[in-house]
Amino acid sequence: MKNIKKRLKSGETLAGCWLNLGSSVTAEIVGSSGYDWVLIDLEHGSGEQADLLHQLQALEHTPASALVRVESHKKERIHRVLDLGANGVMVPQIKKVAEAKSAIAGIHYPPNGVRGVAKMVRATGFGKNFDSYKKGTLENLLGVIQIETLEALEVLDEIAELPGVDVLFIGPADLTMALGIDGDLSHPLFVDAVEKIVAAARKAGKAVGILLFDPNDFQKYNELGIQLIACGADATFVANGARAMASQLNSAKNRKG
């Protein structure tokens, strides 16, 4: 199992990227490109549960750890993702401490959680490594709770203090929309929210993550103490590359005319 959780606890800053095309090919390309981690997005991405296995298989032999964002905090969604071999789970739209607690409980086996036991799954080597996998889940599986609602901001300390919550992950798009400042990351309300999230995580000994719109903001947020930093997505890379090439070709065509 890859060691993203250990690396965070040792103080490393880890660069990541979103995967939202549902493609095992782009997953392999991105995973081999130098990122520390990637996130397969089942909340907003175009891929479905059926596409997840192939993406995880493609990422297995790349350096990147594979996190998966599920659609809800329901344990059934989390079980399925982990059984397929994800290194961790991100849970969006958390509003209550009970929801964060439910999400984390779904990651871990009893007595630390409520994850159902299935030995013949990919995560355990189809039964061959179940004992070592079960023993190592607390140490190895990353629990990421997204902070992107006003309700979550009101209970930051309580969420951060939950055992098994490893990362408070800032969702800028949803959080700024909730704050009424859609996309304005320089607004005092967003700046204040980020500072509160970082403070709550630091107090509880947890890490903080964020998805950037601009890679030039990396240093600014890293200096605040944010370690799990993502920017870009496979769909963005394809779209930007296609548009840039089409623009060049059309410019050349127009010059010829």
Half-sphere exposure of 68 (CA within 13 A, CB side): 29
164 neighbors 113 (Cβ within 8 angstroms): yes
State the helix-helix crossing angle for 97-107 and 75-83, rounded to 10 degrees: 30
Closest Cα partner for 41 from 69, 60, 16, 75?
69
Q: Is 108 a catalytic residue?
A: no
213 neighbors 175 (Cβ within 8 angstroms): no
Residue 240 is encoded by which pair of tokens? 């930007």
Residue of 44, 54, 73, 79 with catalytic role: 44
d(CA 227, CA 198): 10
Residue 219 burial (CB count, 10 A): 10
d(CA 95, CA 100): 8
Q: List, by residue number, the catalytic residues.
A: 44
